[in-house]
Structure 1
Amino acid sequence: MIEFTNRQRNIIEIVKKKEPITAEHIADLVGVSKAALRSDLAVLVMTNALESKPKVGYFVGKTLYNGQANVGYLQQLKVKDIQSVPIIVDGKSTVQEVVIKLFLENVGSIMVVDEKGYLEGIVSRKDLLKVTLGNANATTMPVNLVMTRHPNIVTILPDESVLEAARKMIHFQVDSLPVVERSVGGNDDKKMVIGRITKTNMTRMLLDLENGE
């Protein structure tokens, strides 16, 4: 079970004693830069351990006032419990076909897989915009020429915690993660795509938690 890090627990104790308190003041008390605390504060706010108000600072969140019951729930919640169906295309699909699929599915990125469903790459709206601007012939290009390839893609396993997925999204500054299973034999170069987890999944989960669902 994933728990808060020592530094995150330290931040919570500081906020308990000195709320409301600014990020700058927290950083001074922890002994690190404000930038170094950004991902910790984001995780604590996302899990409702802390709340923040612009120009005021950080407060103890509803989670802690409820005896940290929600934190315990989040620590046990797995990616597979909230993941969505993956949106995938074949690497031979043209850029035009992928653009159409991206807008029909209303997603920010699409995963590219081989004929067996193993992850080959991922392509985002930004990738497609870059290649099509000023290039009339780009629409007929195969998407595997413009995608980000597998070794450079951040993925998550279905049995990892939702908190770990949140940490990865924040640390790597991405909006979604492919949910994958390792191939039989443990070959890390082969990852079967079985789902996706996005910031929308996270937001919906937190709303359900707030509503007691």
Structure 2
Amino acid sequence: MIEFTKRQQEIIEILKKHEPITAEQIAEMLGVSKGTIRSDLAVLVMTGNIEAKPKVGYFLGKKSLNHMERSDWWHTTPVKEIQSVAVTIDASTTVNDAVISLFLEDVGTLVVVDENQLLAGIVSRKDLLKVTLGNAQAASMPIQLVMTKKPKVYTIESDDSVYEAARKLIYYQIDSLPVVKKVNENPLALKVVGRITKTNIVKSLIEVESEA
């Protein structure tokens, strides 16, 4: 992978804002002579990051445009485009049944909902492991005694950006987020409409890269 010099990166930034633009105009903006940037322009053209047309000037090449599209993808793609189905259970589900659901669905977290499919809490593999180790009575306990309750659950809305979801996953050091929708604009009533995981994001990034 070619690493561009600071001046070459500055040229690309200039083109993002001012394309098409002549070599003379680029040089003037950089405060150098046209001859000074001749080799920089040649490198950028050869690598496909910029293109040149006679009597028109320089403009961004396909590589730079593809890179910009991939960078914008984080911020412009809503969570709803890559989210998956949430695996939900109700608060009365036993720990034993919750463990079975985890393995049958092959997920790391179960979303606990009430009778209206509103968020009540979440329970993870770690939560279930903690409560079952050395506790013979744990299997019959209701999940509401084990789960992390709603006020402490981190969520994301379906119209939020993938970038915001990724930021939360990394910042809070968690593997998934329930995707929710406010009911009648009530901030306390959150209907569960899906989930987004680190795996969702990585798979989507790979698809974006493969299409570039």
* Other-structure match for 1:106: 106
Determine the structure 2 residue equivalent to 1:174: 174
SS of the residue 1:163 aligns to = helix
Secondary structure of residue in 2 paired with 1:136: coil
Q: Residue 137 of structure 2 aligns to a residue in which SS?
A: helix
Give, in whole Å, the separation in 2 of the partners of 1:127 and 1:68. 41
> Which letter does structure 1 place at the counterpart of 2:182?
R
Q: Secondary structure at the match of 2:157?
A: coil
Match of 1:69 in 2: 69
2:100 and 2:109 map into 1 onto residues whose CA distance is 12
Distance 2:5 2:177 in 1: 33
Aligned to 1:187: 186
What's the TM-score, normalizing by structure 2?
A: 0.69
Equivalence map 1:13-92=2 (5 Å): 17=6, 66-92=66-92
In structure 2, give the amino acid aligned to 1:88. T
1:148 matched residue in structure 2: 148
The 1-side partners of 2:67 and 2:206 are apart by 19
Asked if 1 retains the 8 angstrom alpha-carbon contact of 2:70 and 2:209, the reply is no
Q: Distance in 2 between matches of 1:73 and 1:163?
A: 8
Partners of 1:78 and 1:135 in 2: CA distance: 42
**For the structure 1 residues 16 and 113, does the alpha-carbon distance in structure 2 shift closer, same or farther, using more than 3 Å as the test?**
farther
2:94 match: 94
Whole-angstrom distance in 2 between the partners of 1:76 and 1:68: 12
Distance 1:136 1:64 in 2: 60
Aligned partner of residue 117 in structure 1, secondary structure: coil
The separation in 2 between residues aligned to 1:64 and 1:171, in whole angstroms, is 30
Higher-Rg member (1/2): 2
Cα-to-partner distance string for 1:69-106 (whole Å, 9 max, x where unaligned) = 21123321000000001100010000000000001111
Q: Does 1:212 align with 2:190?
A: no
CA shift for structure 1 position 156:
0.3
Q: Secondary structure at the match of 1:190?
A: strand
Separation of aligned partners in 1, 2:64 and 2:174: 28
Alpha-carbon distance in 2 for matches of 1:176, 1:205: 15
- The residue matched to 1:129 in structure 2 has which SS? helix
AA aligned opposite 2:84: S
Q: For the Cα contact (< 8 Å) 2:118–2:189, is it kept in 1?
A: yes
The equivalent residue for 1:121 is: 121
CA distance in 1, matches of 2:73, 2:123: 33
Structure 1 SS opposite 2:205: helix
Q: Distance in 1 between matches of 2:88 and 2:79?
A: 19
Give the partner amino acid of 2:199.
T
Letter in 2 for 1:210: E
Give the whole-Å Cα distance in 2 for the aligned partners of 1:101 and 1:67. Answer: 41
- TM-score of the pair, normalised by structure 1: 0.69
State the aligned residue count: 154
Counterparts of 1:152 and 1:96 in 2: how far apart (Å)?
24
Provide, for residues 152-178 of structure 1, a one-character-per-residue CA deviation record: whole Å limited to 9, x for no partner: 011000000000100011111110000
SS at match of 1:211: helix
Q: Mind listing any 5+ residue stretches in structure 1 that lack a counterpart?
A: 1-14, 19-62
